[in-house]
Every structure is written in structure tokens, then in C-alpha cells.
Amino acid sequence: MILSQFRSRSLDRPPASRLRISVTIPAQNEEDLIEDCLHGLKAQVDRWGDPLDPDLYEVILLVNNSTDRSVEIAHRFASLYPDFRLHIIDIVLAPRHAHVGWARRLAMEEALGRFRHMRHPGGVIAATDADTVVAPDWVTETLAAVDAGADGVGGKLMLPPVSLLDAEPRLREATMRHRRYERLTHRLASLLDPDPFDCWPRHGDHGGASLAATAHAYVRAGGMPALATGEDQAFYARLKRTGARFRHSNRVRVFTSDRQDGRAAGGMAATLAGWRSHLANGNDIFVECPDAVVGRLTAKLHGQGNRVPLDEALPALGRRVMELR
């Protein structure tokens, strides 16, 4: 059995007739961060900076196997803001399924069911995380990308304004340098393997903290894979295999916690912990070397040894970009 029991479920409220986007959040033991996440979603604005029509979007929070006050905090939030369309599912999953992949899939399937009830295949199923605060115009900009023709949308992951990395300057610098490396690789991709729909400027993030697809594209891709880790990347790959037009919009932004004790294996917390260990031991942070990046993008990769220190890769990538511009 995947599902051991429902502890509570508050999806009896039907979708609003003008509903355009259903935002899904998987959560487990997030009592410290869930309220900030919900406040960010409640405070959405339109393109003129006015409060967004609450009937245009809803939030489905699926809390699984939690032993803290996450559900209590969410219900209190819902009672304080009755116009905010927050649906809360509190469940216990069987141990082998008690991970973010199953939780995310279950939440997104709930959203799909609501759009099917409305007969609205163009409705948008979005995902974010409980340790993430979306930008005030996140819903508006996600919908704008869909209105421009996107079947799927990835948001740009950013560090919170007050970052735990402020107390670790070496780790913060390494993080910033890695982001510059990623930006250069995406710039190379835009030059060597251009996507006319996902043109420059863009980023390369399509993680669960900010990921969206139309209901039609979601179904065509086979839904969110129920993987213990990497479910978001696998879903993106599914979308691309089905020919979905995907936009990595710089205007869609989220601020994700840089905490050290993450809930999902392979997430940002695990990455930062690995980098912290490398730096403490005087080791380099290794990334794909520029020649390998170019080879992968042009499908002509030759030779071995495609991992180099980040400090070597950055200037080499910069030179490659300048040569191609």
C-alpha cells in the first residue's frame, strides 16, 4: 500500500470558476518554514502590483508523515485568511513511499483532478517547496509564460535576502561562482544549441521549487515520476521528450532556503553540505570541463577526463562564450 491513512483532507471546496493555476506543495516536518512559504503565496500581485484575484489560483499543501506542527500551522493560517484558497491534505504514506517524489505526485494528481472536473486542460499545475518563498509576482509571471505559448515553465532559484551563507563567506563565494558557471553553460547552450522558444536571456533551473506545466502537457508527459530523488528533473526530461515548449523565464523567481538539514536527498542542502566538506578539507569543487560542455552540446564529445576544478572552468567557459558571440 502506498497510502496508509488520511489523517485529514480539506479539498471539499470546489475550484473557483476562474481558477487558472493550482500550486502544489509537498511537506514533511516543515513547522519552521511553512508559514513563510504560505505568506509568500498569499501575497501574490498582478502585473500592476495590485493584489492578485484570489479566485485565479489555489494552493494544495500535502503534508506526509509529519510529527511536528506543520499541519496545525497550516490550518491556523487557513482560518486567519479564509479568502486564500488553501487546501490541506495530511496523510501517512507507507514507509517505502514516504518521500518527496510520491508526495509531489499525489499533490499534482489532486490538482489535475480538479482541472479535469472543470474540463480545463489549459489549467496550470505548479509546484513549489515548503522551504521556498515565491516572489510576489510568481503566479502572474508563470501564467504570463504560459500565455506566451509555454507548455512548461521553470523558475529561477535564488538565495533568500538574509542567507545562512552570510556567516560562511568561503561557501557563499563558491556558491556564487558555481551560479556564474551555470549561467555561462546556459549561455553556451543558447549559442550552440538554440531553442527558439527558450531563447536568451534565460536560466537553467527547473527544480521542484518552481516548476509548472499545463494540465494537458502534464498528462502527455505521464505525470510527475514518483522517485525518491530527482523527480523534478525526470519530469522535465519527460516534458522535453514529448515536445513540450519549455520556458526558463528569468521573470519567474523563488527564494529557496539554504539550510543545512534538508528534507530531500540530493537537494540544495545536500549539495551545500558536500561543498562545505570539500572546502573544509582543502579540496576543489569539480564541474564539467568546458570542452566537455561544448562536446555535449554539439554531440561531438571526444576524449576522457571531463571534470575539472570550478576555478579552472570559469575563465575557460568565459572565453568560449566570447568566441561565439
Per-residue model confidence (pLDDT) at position 217: 98
Mean pLDDT value across residues 25-35: 97
Over the stretch 196-240, which tens digit does the pLDDT of each residue have? 999 999 999 999 999 999 999 999 999 999 999 999 999 999 999
Q: Which residue has the higher pLDDT, 166 or 123?
A: 123
pLDDT of 302: 44
**Spatial distance between the Cα atoms of 118 and 111, rounded to a whole number of angstroms:** 11
Is the model's pLDDT at 180 over the cut of 50? yes
Residue from 96, 139, 106, 101 nearest 235 by CA: 101
Give yes or no for residue 1 having a pLDDT over 60: no
Buried-exposed string 188-216: b where 16+ CB fall within 10 A, e elsewhere: bbbbeeeeeebeeebbebbbbbbbbbbbe
Predicted pLDDT at 116: 95
pLDDT greater than 50 at residue 274: yes
pLDDT at res. 213: 99
pLDDT of residue 9: 66
pTM across the whole model: 0.88
pLDDT classification of 282: cutoffs 50, 70, 90: confident
Instruction: Pick the more confident residue, 323 or 130.
Output: 130
Q: Write the CA distances from 184 to 176, 181, 319, 322, 325, integer angstroms.
A: 13, 5, 10, 10, 12
Task: Give the rounded percent of residues in the chain with a pLDDT score beyond 70.
Answer: 90
Higher pLDDT, 169 or 305: 169
Grid coordinates of 180:
556564474
Tens digit of each residue's pLDDT (9 = 90 or more) over 76-104: 999 999 999 999 999 999 999 999 999 99
- Under the banding of pLDDT at 50, 70 and 90, the label for residue 263 is low
Give domain limits for the chain. 3-163+195-258
- Judge whether 28 and 64 are in contact, CB under 8 Å: yes
> Higher model confidence: residue 299 or residue 50?
50
- CB contact at 8 A, 19 and 58: yes
Tens digits of residue pLDDT in 136-158: 999 999 999 999 999 999 999 99
Which cell goes with 179?
A: 551560479
Mean per-residue pLDDT over the chain, rounded: 90
Classify domain 3-163+195-258 at the CATH superfamily level.
Answer: Spore Coat Polysaccharide Biosynthesis Protein SpsA; Chain A (3.90.550.10)
Residue-wise over 304-319: b if at least 16 C-beta within 10 A, else e? eebebebeebbeebee
**Cα torsion through 164, 170, 176, 181, rounded to 10:** -140
Q: Provide Rg for the chain, Cα atoms.
A: 20
Q: What is the C-alpha separation between 89 and 179, in angstroms, rounded?
A: 35
pLDDT of the residue at 112: 97
Q: Stretch 167-196: mean pLDDT, rounded?
A: 88
Residue type, 197: F
pLDDT of residue 313: 81
Hey, what's the cell of 191?
A: 549559442
